[in-house]
Amino acid sequence: KAGVTQTPRYLIKTRGQQVTLSCSPISGHRSVSWYQQTPGQGLQFLFEYFSETQRNKGNFPGRFSGRQFSNSRSEMNVSTLELGDSALYLCASSWTSGRTGELFFGEGSRLTVL
Amino acid sequence: DQQVKQNSPSLSVQEGRISILNCDYTNSMFDYFLWYKKYPAEGPTFLISISSIKDKNEDGRFTVFLNKSAKHLSLHIVPSQPGDSAVYFCAARSGGGADGLTFGKGTHLIIQP
């Protein structure tokens, strides 16, 4: 069974640009969550999508957005990039958006903003 | 305000001994706790979890203990093996799970031969 796949794995952008990251969940999983990992803040929740609907969003500015398609694949977009957006962006999937919280993570997309 | 705290950035343990990783939380609404393990260049992988209605959960070499009154949980690894060297994240979720998981900043466990 294929795991969570994230593309691209690495990318470099400059301030002011925008970026789109992609995530393909484990087959059959309908929930996709996104997290940002930085050395100073650790892993922080960005948002979760279930059946193409955003369930909730973490404490991030509106420059961070996402969407989920009917096949459960998800994308997240960051507009007007800032230096502080440099981070590892992790996508995680689960079968359902439930209480148990067991998430299956991808390897992440490492974004560097220059 | 950090709701989940792992106060030890790193921990070194001899192979074969017990590793104890600690985690404190402040949000009394958390009712489900998880531990994740992360190797370099890989995403975190789920290790073990515990519901707030329990005080202990065991899975092979891994045991998680929850002390609700102290808002403290710990992960015990016995015996520690070289492959256990990784960063361990404590995470918590409140009822409904709509707010995602709240993670600690991680503890880097190093198993010495």
Q: Which tens digit of pLDDT belongs to each residue from A18-61?
A: 999 999 999 999 999 999 999 878 889 999 999 899 988 888 99
Residue in B22, B42, B17, B45 with CA at minimum distance from that of residue B104: B22
Residues of B in contact with A7 (CB under 8 A): none
Calculate how close chain B gets to A19, using CA atoms only, in Å: 20
What tokens were used for A42?
């650790």
Q: Note whether A101 contacts B97, CB cutoff 8 Å.
A: yes
DSSP string, B43-86: --EEEEEEETT-SEEEETTEEEEEETTTTEEEEEESS--GGG-E
Q: Residue B70: which pLDDT band, with cuts at 50, 70 and 90?
A: very high
What does the pLDDT average to over A90-114? 85
Calculate how close chain B gets to A49, using CA atoms only, in Å: 10
pLDDT over threshold 70, residue B98: no
Contact, A24 vs A105, CB < 8 A? no
Q: Note whether A35 contacts B98, CB cutoff 8 Å.
A: no
Q: Note whether B103 contacts A43, CB cutoff 8 Å.
A: yes
Residues of A in contact with B97 (CB under 8 A): 97-101
Q: Note whether B34 contacts A41, CB cutoff 8 Å.
A: no
What does the pLDDT average to over B24-43? 92
How far apart CA B80 and CA B82 sit, in angstroms, is 7
What does the pLDDT average to over A87-95? 93
Chain B interface with A: residues with Cβ < 8 Å:
31-32, 34, 36, 41-46, 49, 89, 91, 93, 95-106
CB-defined contacts A:B, below 8 A: 70
DSSP state of A96: S
Residue in A44, A60, A59 with CA at minimum distance from that of residue A92: A44
